[in-house]
Structure 1
Amino acid sequence: MLDSLSDGFMSIDKSWRFTYLNNTAERYLRQERENLLGRDIWQCYPDLVDSGYYRTYQQTAATGLPGRHTDFYAPLSTWFEARSFHHDDGITVLFRDVTREHEHAAQLEFEASHDFLTGLANRRKCMQTLSCAVAEAASSGFTNGVSLAVLYIDLDHLKEVNDAFGHAVGDELLRAFATRLLAILEPAFFAARVGGDEFVLLLRNTTESAAEAFAHSVLNVLALPFPVYGRSVSLSASVGIALLREESESAEALLSHADTAMYAAKSSGGLQVRTYDTALDRGMRDRVALRNDLREAFAANQFELHFQPQIALADASLIGAEALLRWRHPDRGLLTPYAFLDLLLDSPYEGALVEWLVNQVCLHIVAWRQRGVLVPRISLNLSARQLLGLGLTNRILEIARAHDISPTMLDVEVTEDSLVSDIEKASSVLAALKQAGISTSLDDFGAGYSSLSYLVRLPIDTLKIDKSFVRALVDSEKATAVLRGIVGLARSLGMKTIAEGVESERQVEELKDAGCDSIQGYLISRPLTSEAFAEFMLRM
């Protein structure tokens, strides 16, 4: 009967010698019973001594009470569940192999605490680990500036990658980044993926300078392109750092501070590292309030366009104007895009912004026409997602046609960094715009990637020279040389040039000598309201 049991069964006398084993016990212990009967269990299996099994059996023998213990027995690479019972001659043990159950439970626990895509810990596991680390750091105190640091990493422009190449490429990119991240982590560090493109690193026993240095090493890891499905994809990131400075600080507060610092880095243009301080909290609260105000901005018609004239250097004639977005906030006054554009582009209103911009430009052109004022061309700025959105050219043409506006009166300005996520699609969209009669300009040339290969491949009509070059013209011979090179390059490619940020007559003379076609800046005029711009045109 005992040999037919599916559980292992063994009897041990008061001297801890085997007196009986059934067939299942032989199989589990990988020994024939003849080799064990009459022998001391602790001598046969010395790894049991001081184990949980040892203490359970001893307690049953001493108290007469049943015992139960489950543990991993390394010599047999097996998880056993053992139940011990007292009898007059010693104890009896029923035990069974629970390895599969344990591994299944462990797998379920792993899946519940780890990200399925990257294999890193998930947000739940991150908070558990961070809470334990904060408690340990608080109990041990802080010496010589050594502390606990949390790095909050947000990958920049991952959505553009997903939109351009598909989510399979984006997922593979996340896996590749996680692999690189694990390769540079020290054993005591911890990594988690807590959101779609957000990662958290926990650095134990570190200093502020060491944490910042490690954050920059993360940016360096991202600097190398990722080969994904036959493509070479580049990424950047924004990193926020928070250090545990007080014993009373909680894990939730520490993570929140790192998140706040990350958003500050992202708001500064990305590819940056920021360390949390209390001033960031005030700024973050201010941005949250501003984000909430966006909900009413469109409905209340608080957005408006101002126009900055563009003048030809050859004859001082008006060649056009750049339409600049402004927000007339009811409490904060007139806000420039630097205060809110990143919030707007990351809001549900981004999709509607293009139609609003084109419609408003057309409405202003119609109003000026009714006053007998004709403007040659109005430029409007588009982001990467807006440029690469579906049906951009057709939608612009539809709006212009509805207002009886010629497409030749419109110009689309894009920046270099808005093109690099998908150069092929960007080239196709710009070509479609050009074919429809809408001119295109490359804004802030020289401030970003400045890759000559883009100029060769993109159907651009005008290069807008970044104001940093214009500002340096008076004092820097190198800046003048670079300017002449840009103008010559543009001319050889059949492009016009406009210099931005012109503020002095000396700059105008340098630009004329370099052969620049047109200028824009405070020397000519600050951005003007629609009415003021109409008056400006009447005076031309």
Structure 2
Amino acid sequence: MDKKDYDISNLAISEADTIKEKSPWKTIVIYTILGFLWILFSDRFVDLFADSHETYKLMQSYKGVFYVVVTAVILFYLIKYDYSKIMKLTNDVSEKNEELVSFSEELIAMDEDLQQKIESLNIAMKSINEQKQFIDDIFQNSNTSIVTWGLDGEVLDINNHFTELMGYDRQDIIGKKWYEILLPEEQKYKYYELASKLESDRKVQNYENKAVAKDGRIFDMLWNNAMIYNPQNDLTIVVSFGIDLTMQKQNERRIYELAYNDKLTGFKNLIAFENDINSKINKKTSFTLYYLDMDNFKHLNEIHGHKCGDMFLKDYASRLLTIFDRTNVYRWCGDEFVIIEEDTNDINITKRIDEIALLTKNIWKYKNVEYYPSVSIGITKFPEDAENLEGLKKNMDMALYKAKSSGKSLAVAYHSDFQKDIEKKLDLENTITQALINESFRLVFQPIYSIKTGRIISIEALIRCKSLNINIGEMINIAEESGQILQIDRWVIKKAFEIMKNELDKYDILLSINLSAKSIASPDLIDYLSNITKEYNINPNKIEFELTEHSLIFDIDWSKEVIGKLKHLGFGIALDDFGTRYSSLNYLSTIPFDSLKIDKSYIDKIVDTDKSRVIVEQIIDLSHNLGLTTVAEGIEENEQLDILKKLDCDYGQGYLLDKPLELEDLIIKIN
């Protein structure tokens, strides 16, 4: 229903109300007038025509009836007329009322729809407000620095994280050019670079720059930038999301230092060396490699402790820096260093070697420790000796090995003949392996005599092999370098136990077996000896193991533990080659040896050198005072034997007394 219908309805209702109020009075008035007119004129009319009293009465009756009939008819038509109007109006009102009801229902429906729309609008507004609050919370509480700015660099807004990180208040930076405040002077160009990229690409990701905080600190920042259109002010702005990479960069630098630098000396390490070498090789840059290895450093490290060894290496590193640039020196591992110089002139190489030798030989002191260092050097050149990293590494290894094996404290330049020596060494290792597989080894036995009685009191088991064309000492050295010595030791022990059980058990004689450093370091040595002793039912009191100082000092604490377990099993322990290398009286006081073997180098000189005789005498006296028996090794002259008798040495061994014997010959000797 429109507004016009609504007005008509109101008008109809108004007219109906008027009729209801006026129509009854109108009818009454008409009736009253007619009544008065009838009374007024009807009596005159009767008087005019009535000639008698009866006629008059009759005409009065007819007049009354006529009046009643006429007024009734008139009333009928008047009432009918009014009623028809009333009915018409009633119908109109009814129709309008129905229309009004319908309109009212429409209004109610519209009102309900309006209410729903209002509720929806309220919900939408609430959601928008919540979303706006949510976005604002994200903006303000994000762990990312957020900056909005115009392409002219003017800052429009910043979030809380930015202010917390950089220390700026909002008034310090909003409305200012961010690049004037944040960028260090040397990085001002980055703003123009960034703005140019944004104009062309509309977004720039993973853009790094330095940022200056309010307190002057420099941050490493990573930004993701995007241009967006703001319909509220019809402007295009830039939104930048920044992450602080400062700690990450510091960690990366630390990781780099750990990955590429040696922690102890500060020199670059093996990984950095390989990277730098490959770079020089790719650039075809000629250079010389010096491969330095400290001689006998492990004795300093193991006797006096790793702290002492580390102190020396730090000091030696500082010595190297007096003649080399830090970027050219690398710590290879342990006590090894590599130096790169872009100079392959032989005269200059010789000068460098002399300089290294000069700075190395100076005595080094730390607290009560004195160390006389020396260094072996392997030298190789690029591209003369090799054209790739692996070849250079192999060459410098061979050159250093040659320097070490030639007497140490030497500098040796690589030569192609070294490859032949390596191949020979590998052939010997293969020969040893085949000898173990084919059981080509055999045992011989060198007697140890009582110097006083001349009786055999023990025998030393020695390994021999006809298939090896080198002396047995060289074979042992090669086996120790290759690790084959452990297999050889196990073979000797097993064979010696077998011979003891089958041939020698009935004799009152002690069997000595040499144990290498590899065997001492082996974690399953004790279990092996325990099992094989049970297998052959050997009396361990008839077995003595000979250990050298060299085999003990790799890990003195471990060695003490192993010797203690050997003694617990019942085996005897002899200290072999006493007086060589770095002999220490600490061994004699802390390790439960049963006997001490004086090295041949002292016995050789006791006839001609008073000092050697005094040293041997002191060793014998010291051993006796500690409850140890003494064995003199390498007796080859009668004069030596006579002196040893005078010095009260217990036992002797050497070619003067007996050479190593085959088992059959030994048994004849014993009998």
Normalised to the residue count of structure 1, the TM-score between the two structures is 0.70
Query: How far apart are 1:427 and its partner, in Å?
Result: 5.2
What are the residue-to-residue correspondences of 1:146-185 with 2, within 5 Å?
147-151=288-292
Select the residue among 392, 396, 417 that pairs with 2:550: 417
Paired residue for 2:10?
A: none
Rounded to whole Å, the distance in 2 between the matches of 1:314 and 1:110 is 69
Select the residue among 508, 513, 534 that pairs with 1:380: 513
Query: How far apart are 1:382 and its partner, in Å?
Result: 1.0
CA contact (8 A) 2:573 2:594 kept: yes
* 1:79 has 2:214 as partner: no
Rounded to whole Å, the distance in 2 between the matches of 1:173 and 1:453 is 18
3-state SS of paired residue (1:516)? coil
Query: How far apart are 1:466 and its partner, in Å?
Result: 0.5
3-state SS of paired residue (2:583)? coil
Alignment root-mean-square deviation, CA: 5.3
Rounded to whole Å, the distance in 2 between the matches of 1:134 and 1:151 is 21
- Which has the larger helix fraction? 2
Moved more, 126-135 or 447-456: 126-135
CA contact (8 A) 2:598 2:630 kept: yes
Classify 1:152/1:384 alpha carbon distance in 2 versus 1 (closer, same or farther; 3 Å). closer
Rounded to whole Å, the distance in 2 between the matches of 1:181 and 1:51 is 45
AA at the equivalent of 2:353: E
CA contact (8 A) 2:219 2:245 kept: no
* 1:316 has 2:463 as partner: no
| Cα-to-partner distance string for 1:109-129 (whole Å, 9 max, x where unaligned) | 927972899698775444223
Paired residue for 1:520?
A: 653
Select the residue among 158, 161, 176 that pairs with 1:23: 158
What are the residue-to-residue correspondences of 1:179-218 with 2, within 5 Å?
186=321, 187-188=326-327, 191=330, 201-202=338-339, 207-211=352-356
Moved more, 103-112 or 301-310: 103-112
Rounded to whole Å, the distance in 1 between the matches of 2:611 and 2:495 is 41
Paired residue for 1:339?
A: 475
Rounded to whole Å, the distance in 2 between the matches of 1:26 and 1:454 is 67
3-state SS of paired residue (2:444)? strand
AA at the equivalent of 1:472: K
Query: How far apart are 1:99 and its partner, in Å?
Result: 2.8
Paired residue for 1:287?
A: 425
3-state SS of paired residue (2:207)? strand
CA contact (8 A) 1:441 1:463 kept: yes
CA contact (8 A) 1:308 1:527 kept: yes
Select the residue among 613, 617, 623 that pairs with 1:484: 617
| Cα-to-partner distance string for 1:422-446 (whole Å, 9 max, x where unaligned) | 6566556556655765433211111
Paired residue for 1:505?
A: 638
3-state SS of paired residue (1:78)? strand
Select the residue among 331, 352, 359 that pairs with 2:494: 359
Moved more, 471-480 or 393-402: 393-402
* 1:132 has 2:271 as partner: no
What are the residue-to-residue correspondences of 1:20-99 with 2, within 5 Å?
20-24=155-159, 27=163, 31=168, 44=181, 47-49=184-186, 53-54=190-191, 56-57=193-194, 60=197, 70-73=207-210, 75-76=212-213, 77-82=218-223, 94-99=239-244
Select the residue among 150, 157, 161 that pairs with 1:11: 150
3-state SS of paired residue (1:417)? helix
Rounded to whole Å, the distance in 1 between the matches of 2:188 and 2:459 is 82
CA contact (8 A) 1:79 1:97 kept: no
CA contact (8 A) 2:312 2:364 kept: no
Rounded to whole Å, the distance in 1 between the matches of 2:597 and 2:277 is 49
Select the residue among 455, 463, 468 that pairs with 1:325: 463
| Cα-to-partner distance string for 1:339-386 (whole Å, 9 max, x where unaligned) | 244535763772x5554323312333456559xx95723211112453
Classify 1:63/1:445 alpha carbon distance in 2 versus 1 (closer, same or farther; 3 Å). same
Classify 1:525/1:91 alpha carbon distance in 2 versus 1 (closer, same or farther; 3 Å). farther
| Cα-to-partner distance string for 1:195-229 (whole Å, 9 max, x where unaligned) | xx686555667933445567779x9699999xxxx
AA at the equivalent of 1:78: F
3-state SS of paired residue (2:588)? helix
5+ residue gaps, structure 1, are 162-168, 226-233
Rounded to whole Å, the distance in 2 between the matches of 1:148 and 1:273 is 15
AA at the equivalent of 1:127: E
Classify 1:214/1:122 alpha carbon distance in 2 versus 1 (closer, same or farther; 3 Å). same
| Cα-to-partner distance string for 1:244-279 (whole Å, 9 max, x where unaligned) | 45476433333333444555677789x977655335
Query: How far apart are 1:488 and its partner, in Å?
Result: 2.1
Rounded to whole Å, the distance in 2 between the matches of 1:265 and 1:500 is 30
What are the residue-to-residue correspondences of 1:233-244 with 2, within 5 Å?
241-244=378-381
Classify 1:58/1:95 alpha carbon distance in 2 versus 1 (closer, same or farther; 3 Å). closer
CA contact (8 A) 2:183 2:210 kept: no
Rounded to whole Å, the distance in 1 between the matches of 2:524 and 2:166 is 71
Classify 1:411/1:274 alpha carbon distance in 2 versus 1 (closer, same or farther; 3 Å). farther
Query: How far apart are 1:96 and its partner, in Å?
Result: 3.3
Query: How far apart are 1:299 and its partner, in Å?
Result: 1.9
CA contact (8 A) 2:377 2:410 kept: yes
CA contact (8 A) 1:309 1:322 kept: yes
Rounded to whole Å, the distance in 2 between the matches of 1:340 and 1:62 is 77
3-state SS of paired residue (1:22)? strand
Paired residue for 2:255?
A: 110
Rounded to whole Å, the distance in 1 between the matches of 2:366 and 2:340 is 19
How many residues align? The count is 501
Percent identity of paired positions between Structure 1 and Structure 2: 21
3-state SS of paired residue (2:212)? helix
3-state SS of paired residue (1:314)? coil
Rounded to whole Å, the distance in 1 between the matches of 2:257 and 2:295 is 23
* 1:469 has 2:630 as partner: no
Rounded to whole Å, the distance in 1 between the matches of 2:439 and 2:619 is 40
Rounded to whole Å, the distance in 2 between the matches of 1:369 and 1:215 is 54
CA contact (8 A) 2:295 2:409 kept: no
Normalised to the residue count of structure 2, the TM-score between the two structures is 0.59
Classify 1:427/1:84 alpha carbon distance in 2 versus 1 (closer, same or farther; 3 Å). closer
Rounded to whole Å, the distance in 2 between the matches of 1:43 and 1:433 is 79
Query: How far apart are 1:477 and its partner, in Å?
Result: 1.4
Largest Rg, 1 or 2: 2
